């Protein structure tokens, strides 16, 4: 199938670029990275990371070629996350590039997500027309002073909050899987929480910078909240409550405890950040705790119909 843009260029194919073939599209890759940063050192780091990810196949570079074998653009696919992270360029060729990459990827993926910053705003309606749904990701943060002023509600009898330990791995992995089952996060991060085995692998990666608090009822894990620390910033993740324990205020308790514990243990933390779907119950919870939304970015998601 061929498509033509306003300049009447014919589009021949989408081709997966191997590491030893990157030179074919290197001018496009370099231009793409330089639009992200003008700092030469950062440009070098970003390109090195991209090449390393292509080598390990955590990133797949899908390039579009015209019928004269000239590359006109590319898409960046993160296979384990069902994510087409970027398209380049965002010009008159975008629709044709998107169409071909989308058809290529959906042959092997039943779920596809594309961030709004990879889609020209003029194409948002078209994304809905071809079967994508739109949500808005809210980027939220809370400052250290606000955290330190939080108060922690009393736990119900026979409930406790403990630090995750290796001997809890099987029970905690099962709890995480049940907590995330059917949620956008399970579709967004299948390699982290999509199966019990994926949850176990996520737990195996925990270290001192990835603190995981576990809420238990009668010594059985029923909820979790992780705070990952990078320098002066913390990041919230792996927040979940078993379905049968929801709507009891337990989500607020585990998140508040994890925040207070993080700033108590690490005096370098200045702020803690997270991403939530704007308007959903988790967003409302974080906002009520004191998180402030700094920006909102669209996210488009597509699922194969059964």
Same domain, 82 and 220: no
Q: Is residue 197 domain-shared with residue 70, that is, in the same domain?
A: no
Q: Report whether pLDDT(6) > 50.
A: no
153 and 269 both lie in a single domain: yes
- Using alpha carbons, list the distances in angstroms from residue 173 to 110, 164, 211, 252, 255: 24, 11, 15, 21, 18
Pairing of strands 111-115, 233-241: unpaired
CATH number at residue 56: 3.40.630.30
- Please identify, among 131, 159, 182, the residue that sits at the C-terminal boundary of a domain: 131
pLDDT in tens, 201-219: 999 988 777 889 999 999 9
Using CA atoms, how far apart are residues 78 and 115, in angstroms rounded to an integer?
A: 12
Domain that holds residue 162: 139-300
Q: How confident is the model at residue 8 (pLDDT cuts 50, 70, 90)?
A: very low
Looking at the structure, tell me whether residues 104 and 201 fall in a common domain. Answer: no
Tell me, yes or no, whether 35 and 96 share the same domain. Answer: yes
- Ordered alpha helix ranges (H), 90-238: 94-105, 124-129, 144-148, 169-180, 184-188, 190-193, 196-204
Same domain, 218 and 271: yes
Q: Has residue 39 got a pLDDT over 60?
A: yes
CA 176 to chain centre: 17
For residue 25, is pLDDT > 90? Answer: yes
Question: Does the residue 1 lie in any domain?
Answer: no
In a domain, 85, yes or no: yes
Query: Based on the domain organization, do 143 and 127 belong to the same domain?
Result: no
Q: Which of 68, 98, 131 is the last residue of a domain?
A: 131
Q: Check if the beta carbon of residue 63 is closer than 8 Å to that of residue 77.
A: no
């Amino acid at each position: 199938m061929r498509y033509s843009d306003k300049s009447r260029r014919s589009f021949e194919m989408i081709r997966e670029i191997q590491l030893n073939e990157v030179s074919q599209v290197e001018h496009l890759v370099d231009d793409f990275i330089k639009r992200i940063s003008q700092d030469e050192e950062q440009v070098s780091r970003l390109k090195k990371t991209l090449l390393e990810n292509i080598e390990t196949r955590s990133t797949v570079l899908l390039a579009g070629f015209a019928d004269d074998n000239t590359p006109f653009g590319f898409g960046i696919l993160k296979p384990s996350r069902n994510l087409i992270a970027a398209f380049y360029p965002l010009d008159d060729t975008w629709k044709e590039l998107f169409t071909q990459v989308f058809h290529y990827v959906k042959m092997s993926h039943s779920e596809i997500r594309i961030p709004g910053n990879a889609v020209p705003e003029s194409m948002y309606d078209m994304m809905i027309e071809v079967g994508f749904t739109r949500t808005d990701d809210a980027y939220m943060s809370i400052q250290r002073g606000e955290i330190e002023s939080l108060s922690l509600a009393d736990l119900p009898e026979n409930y406790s909050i403990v630090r995750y330990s290796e001997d809890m791995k099987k029970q905690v992995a099962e709890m995480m899987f049940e907590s995330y089952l059917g949620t956008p996060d399970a579709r967004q991060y299948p390699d982290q929480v999509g199966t019990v085995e994926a949850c176990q692998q996520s737990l195996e990666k925990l270290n001192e910078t990835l603190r995981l608090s576990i809420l238990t009822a009668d010594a059985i894990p029923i909820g979790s909240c992780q705070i990952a620390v990078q320098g002066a910033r913390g990041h919230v993740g792996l927040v979940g409550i078993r379905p049968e324990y929801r709507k009891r205020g337990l989500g607020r308790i585990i998140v508040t405890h994890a925040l207070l514990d993080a700033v108590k243990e690490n005096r370098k933390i200045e702020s803690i950040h997270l991403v939530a779907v704007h308007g959903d119950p988790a967003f409302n919870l974080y906002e009520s705790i004191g998180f402030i939304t700094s920006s909102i970015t669209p996210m488009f998601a597509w699922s194969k119909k059964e």
